Amino acid sequence: KAGVTQTPRYLIKTRGQQVTLSCSPISGHRSVSWYQQTPGQGLQFLFEYFSETQRNKGNFPGRFSGRQFSNSRSEMNVSTLELGDSALYLCASRDSYGYTFGSGTRLTVV
Amino acid sequence: SQQGEEDPQALSIQEGENATMNCSYKTSINNLQWYRQNSGRGLVHLILIRSNEREKHSGRLRVTLDTSKKSSSLLITASRAADTASYFCATGTNTGNQFYFGTGTSLTVIP
């Protein structure tokens, strides 16, 4: 079965811009979670969506938002980008056994 | 924070040796999982152990769980250069749907 697909793989944006990242989960998985990974902070939970509803939210500012569509695909949006938003953004779909992660989107803010 | 901590932060061994890394966590858990991450890539699920289990094997991997000490260990036997990666533990709780990741152990296997 196809894995979790994240697009784009790499992104370079300027401070103040906004960005949208996309994630397609494994077919049949309704839960999608987003994580931010940086060298200093490790893996930080952003939010989880299940059946188009945000089920959990991490401790991130309101500039970070997301949504999930009826086909379970999810998007994550970051507005007013800051240099500190540079990170690897990982999306994961989950079942009862755990997460399956995508390869991530590497966002660089300059 | 419910985040776990792996120990050691970095480990370097010769090919063929065994590698052991530990994970400690803070709250009651429903299960604990181990993941591997190759540089700059997504995480790959390795193994899940439930809170009522004490030991689990998968190929060259052996995971133990001690809920009284709130700790787990991952043993990789007969290591290979391809095992070079970062390893993370993640805990699942009884009350939420979120998994909490540890800080990771960076393993280098020298050919």
Q: How far apart are CA B15 and CA B20, in angstroms?
A: 14
Q: How far is B77 from chain A (nearest CA, A)?
A: 23
Residues of chain A numbered 36-95 and touching chain B (CB < 8 Å): 42-43, 45, 48, 50, 55-56, 88, 90, 92, 94
Out of A4, A56, A100, whose CB is closest to B97? Answer: A56
DSSP state of A9: S
Q: What angle do CA B95, B99, B102 make, to 5 degrees?
A: 125
Residue A11: strand pairing partners = A107
Which pLDDT tens digit goes with each residue over B69-95? 999 999 999 999 999 999 999 988 766
SS3 A26: coil
Q: Is residue A11 within 8 Å of A107, Cβ to Cβ? A: yes
Note down pLDDT in tens along chain A; length 110 residues.
Answer: 578 999 999 999 999 999 999 999 999 888 999 999 998 778 899 999 999 999 888 999 999 999 999 999 999 999 999 999 999 999 999 876 778 899 999 999 99
Rounded to an integer, what is the distance from CA A92 to the centroid of its chain?
8
pLDDT bin (cut points 50, 70, 90) of residue B96 is low
- The DSSP annotation for A40-52 comes to TTEEEEEEEEETT
Q: How far apart are the first and last CA of chain B?
A: 38
A98/B45 Cβ within 8 A = yes
A24 touches chain B (CB under 8 A): no
SS3 A83: helix
pLDDT level of residue B37 (50, 70, 90 thresholds): very high
Are the C-beta atoms of residues B90 and B45 closer than 8 Å to each other? no
End-to-end CA distance of chain A: 37
